[in-house]
Amino acid sequence: MMKSVRVVVVGAGVIGFSTAVCISEALPFCAVTLMADKFSPDTTSDGAAGILFAAQFPDIPLQRQRRWFKDSFDHLLAIAQSQCAPEAGVMLSSGWQIFKEIPAVETPFWSEFVIGFRPMTDVELKRFPDHKFGQAFTTLKCECSTYLLWLEKRFRKAGGQVEQRKVNSLQELSNSFDIIVNCSGLGSKILVGDTQVYPVRGQVLKVEAPWVQHFIRDGDGKTYIYPGIRSVTIGGTRQEGDWRLQVDGGDTKGILERCSRLEPSLNKAKILSEWVGLRPSRKNPRVEREVVQLQGRPVPVVHNYGHGGWGVTLAWGTALDTLGLVKQSLHEMASQAKL
């Protein structure tokens, strides 16, 4: 069949590739090109611990946030339970989220979608004397550097094209494409002039500690231990408005101290690598469409960015929403062509 509609997806992180796969698999008549300046292993997604749970955004209907989470969880759970699990880098992970003070919301909206969510018992909390409350559950962990390569393979299999190129403005895409899908994360600050997107710097270490089998996350989001397939990711930092990509020795020291307090055996772990990434944060993620005048003609632009530290958690859910917005744009283009 002729691929009659040209779609470009800008951005090769977990949001960009998830979105490109959704569009190319669902709409075979679209010729989809994914274009980005940086690819794995140089994306923000590559360093993400990739564990699935969520924060609540203030201005997005809860129903929509629940759907994003559930769609992503179901998608990754199916992979974790299939023979693709190791090559996709997706695994189940059990552990605890602990709180120094009892949180305002003891049962978050996503708790019904993870597996076996329950409050921790006093016996379980005993090993964390500084913490008063905790939640135990099984969720998913997605190792992004593996997962991105797997998604890229899946995208190419569906007929997708990949092009490495820095996109400086939407203008330069308007002649070659009918629909633009913007998954450029922090790049949207320049690409579409969004002043509401800002970096939250995160530094993590990968350590060799195969005896650590359960994740532990402090509810403040600053200290966490996530065992993965080949190493344990420990962190972290949440430095708003900080653009530094260099590793900070003071942060490394702080991470090791804080994580060893929760899991003393980490004192014996060998550090394999240090990594810094900038979370593309925004008060609310932007998943919407608009029509932009580019070089004198109206071009549908669908946005999907600003997920902050929750990109892996929400990627498949927001990709499905983006696919819906692309379908709406196609529908509008078809009715206009009839006029």
**Residue among 95, 13, 108 nearest 57 (CA):** 108
Distance CA(12)–CA(27), nearest Å, equals 20
312 is in an annotated binding site: yes
Q: What share of the chain has pLDDT > 90, as a percent?
A: 96
Q: Which long-range contacts (CB under 8 A, 24 or more apart) does 118-123 make?
A: 120/96
- Residue 229 CB coordination number (10 Å): 12
Q: Does 44 show up as a binding residue in the annotation?
A: yes
217 φ, ψ (degrees, to nearest 5): -130, 130
Burial zone of 226 (CB within 10 Å; 0-12 exposed, 13-18 middle, 19+ buried): buried
313 carries a ligand binding annotation: yes
Q: Determine how many CB atoms are found less than 10 A away from the CB of residue 320.
A: 18
Give the mean model confidence (pLDDT) for residues 305-330. Answer: 97
Is 311 known to sit in a ligand binding site? yes
- Residue 284 is given by DSSP the state S
DSSP secondary-structure letter at 305?
Answer: E
What is the pLDDT of the chain when averaged over all its residues? 96
Q: Is 241 annotated as a binding residue?
A: no
Average pLDDT over residues 11-22: 98
Query: Amino acid identity, residue 241?
Result: G
The pair of three-digit structure tokens given for residue 144, joined into one six-digit string:
């992004």
pLDDT of res. 335: 84
3-state secondary structure 79-98: HHCCCCHHHHCEEEEEEEEE
Closest CA to 144 of 278, 230, 279, 41: 41
Is 45 known to sit in a ligand binding site? yes
Residue count of the chain: 339
Residues 6+ apart with CB under 8 A from 309: 48, 55, 200, 202, 221, 238, 279, 281
- Provide the pLDDT for residue 1: 52
Each residue's pLDDT tens digit, 184-224? 999 999 999 999 999 999 999 999 999 999 999 999 999 99
pLDDT of residue 334: 86
Q: Is 224 annotated as a binding residue?
A: yes
Helix (H, G, I), strand (E, B) or coil at 160: coil
Average pLDDT over residues 275-286: 98
pTM, full prediction: 0.96
Q: Specify whether the CB–CB gap between 7 and 33 falls below 8 A.
A: yes
Asked if pLDDT for residue 2 goes beyond 70, the answer is: no
Burial class of residue 37 in the structure, from the number of CB atoms within 10 Å of its CB (0-12 exposed, 13-18 middle, 19+ buried): middle
Percent of the chain with pLDDT over 70: 99
Q: DSSP state, 51?
A: B
Model confidence pLDDT, tens digit, residues 225-239? 999 999 999 999 999
Res. 3 pLDDT band, cuts 50 70 90:
confident
pLDDT at 336: 79
Tell me if 279 is assigned to a ligand binding site.
yes
**Placement of tokens 């990709």 in the chain:** 319
Q: Give me the mean pLDDT over the 35-46 stretch.
A: 96
302 is annotated as contributing to ligand binding: no
CA 20 to CA 34: how far, in whole Å?
7
151, 76 Cβ separation under 8 angstroms: no
Residues 68-105 have pLDDT tens digits of 999 999 999 999 999 999 999 999 999 999 999 999 99
Is the bond preceding 236 in cis, omega lying within 30 degrees of 0?
A: yes
Q: How far apart are CA 172 and CA 302, in angstroms?
A: 16
d(CA 104, CA 93): 25
The strand pairing partners of 202, in sequence order, are 277
Which residues in 143-173 are b (16+ Cβ under 10 Å) and which e?
A: bbebbbbbbbebbeebebebeeeebeebeeb
Q: Average pLDDT, stretch 8-22? A: 98
